Amino acid sequence: MSPTDVPAELIELRDRVRAFVQEELLPLEPEAVRLELQASQRTEPFQAEPGRSYQFDPVGDLPPETYQGLLDSARERGLWGIDVPAEFGGQGHGALAKLLVTEEMSKTVVPFILPPESPNLHWLSNAVNEEQRGRYLEPYARGEITSGVGITEPGAGSDISGIATHAERRDGRWVLSGRKKWIGKADWADFLIVVAVTDQELGSRGGMTAFLVDRGTPGVVVERRLPTISNYRPCEVRFDDVELDDAQVLGEVGQAFIPMQNRLAVRRLEIAARCAGATARLLDMLMAHAKERVTFGEPLASRQTIQNWIADGAMGLHALRLVNIDAARKLDAGRTDIRYESSTAKVLGTELMQRVADQCLQGHGALGLGKDLPIEYYYRLVRIWRIVEGASEIHRVTVARQLLRSGVPA
């Protein structure tokens, strides 16, 4: 598949994003690295002000005025609501456009994402009722409010069927109880999509329900931020008899498992696109350094080991991009189940990026260890991506089961 197979308007959009990254984001990298160091030392949850919406992580991300300036610039450049359906006020470009944009945005470590994030947008777009559309989806699509998702628990990670958080009917309301862990944005997002068991016997086969839980709802306790590697700042959350109305059920009661899996698939494809962008940046850095750095009278670029690293990385990146484009086009064509494609993309992307990050760091020697360059940041970041949204080993199981059931895809 050649670049000409991508519509001209998407190529133009990608180029505008590329200019935005070069002109607005790359100059902010030193500040972003400094703030990430500060945030890594904080474990207390952020105390969000009642009634105030935040478009960025108040702990660790860029200062509010800087972040707002980036939002304003993105709007002026037409980089807003890229994959938001036109009926909700967006550009309606779809998954392929967002994939190209995400790759370009990932060529920097500055923590800025063009809102809204696609996975929850996808879930909400396919599940909200009319009331929820006005209360949650439309303001989320406009970038006015933010959301997180509460799925993972102390005893339920890659095995979603182990979810123990439950909700039961009492006096005409739902009462939510349990604990979630490794939940991003839990202490500042305007609402969470929380998955709970509503029928113990049915479990994942008709007994899981998704709820829209607003920030500040009585009984929702954000206990702490979990100190982790890199810029990953998740929370541990407790739900103590949280009372919810029927209006806060997202989709059908007991039918959250498939929409949740579809949402995860979109997120996995997004991670694969981020890996493509980061890998491209790392390869560029490795090649530039190899041509400039002279050891024992010869540039590093003359060493066969370095040449092999560059060649293998470039070939892997080309293959990853083709896999990503294939998955995005299937989404845009109306396919709702891309678990096979997204699992393939996530494993290929994260393992390629980790290898290239390691080789880029090794090629730079001591320079690669320092925080003056973003190499070590990418190195730590990809280690997160190999675990979150399903570990690589689980995705290999997904791919193998599909192959054993249906054979090798034509």
Query: What tens digit of pLDDT does each residue of 361-393 get?
Result: 999 999 999 999 999 999 999 999 999 999 999
Model confidence band, residue 158 (pLDDT cutoffs 50, 70, 90): confident
Q: How far apart are CA 107 and CA 114, in angstroms?
A: 14
CA 265 to each of CA 14, 283, 358, 364: distance values in angstroms, whole numbers, following the listed order: 23, 27, 27, 35
Going from the C-alpha of 137 to that of each of 70, 89, 134, 190, 295, the distances in angstroms are 23, 11, 6, 12, 57
Q: Model confidence over 308-353: pLDDT tens digits? A: 999 999 999 999 999 999 999 999 999 988 999 999 999 999 999 9
Beta strand 208-214 with 173-183 is: unpaired
pLDDT of residue 44: 86
- The verdict on whether omega for the bond into residue 116 sits within 30 degrees of 0, i.e. cis, is yes
d(CA 385, CA 307): 27
What's the pLDDT score for residue 3?
A: 45
Q: Which two tokens stand for residue 35?
A: 């703030």
Percentage of the residues of the chain whose pLDDT score is greater than 90: 82
Quick one: pLDDT at residue 250? 98
Q: Identify the pLDDT of residue 1.
A: 43
DSSP string, 72-134: HHHHHTT-SSTTS-GGGTS----HHHHHHHHHHHTTS-S----SSPHHHHHHHHHH--HHHII
CA angle 388, 39, 51 (to 5 degrees): 85
pLDDT at 64 over 70: yes
pTM: 0.94
The pLDDT score that the predictor gives to residue 22 is 97
Angle at 383 between CA 378 and CA 384, to 5 degrees: 100
The token pair at 340 is: 């096979």
